[in-house]
Amino acid sequence: MPQSDEELRLAARKRLEKKAGFWKYLGVAAAVSLLLIAIWAFSGYREYFWPAWPILGLSVAAVFSGIDAFGPGRGYITDEKIDAEVRKMTGGGTAS
């Protein structure tokens, strides 16, 4: 567990970066999924929905990414968000 104020700030920044990375991954996964579905739809071979397999893999990765980030995070990483995350980590109040 980090001890100094600087170590706490670095840990808080890392947690916020993971949360932001989770949302970026979801956007990329959604775009890739839509692209695969479009390729399948325009290929004319509609008897077997093969995009389900790569979409399943993307979904499993999204679940693990979300678990790693401990939930969703939004927006830019600001000093205010870092301070709020430090307060949250040390039990000094709630953060939004």
Distance CA 77, CA 58 (A): 26
Distance CA 35, CA 37 (A): 5
According to the model, what pLDDT value does residue 77 have? Answer: 64
In 3-state terms, what secondary structure has residue 18? helix
Distance CA 63, CA 59 (A): 6
What is the chain's length? 96
The answer to whether 11 touches 84, Cβ cutoff 8 Å, is no
Q: Is the pTM of this model over 0.85?
A: no
Amino acid in the structure at residue 31: A
Task: Read off the pLDDT of residues 21-68 as tens digits, 9 standing for 90 and up.
Answer: 999 999 999 999 999 999 999 998 888 999 999 999 999 999 988 888
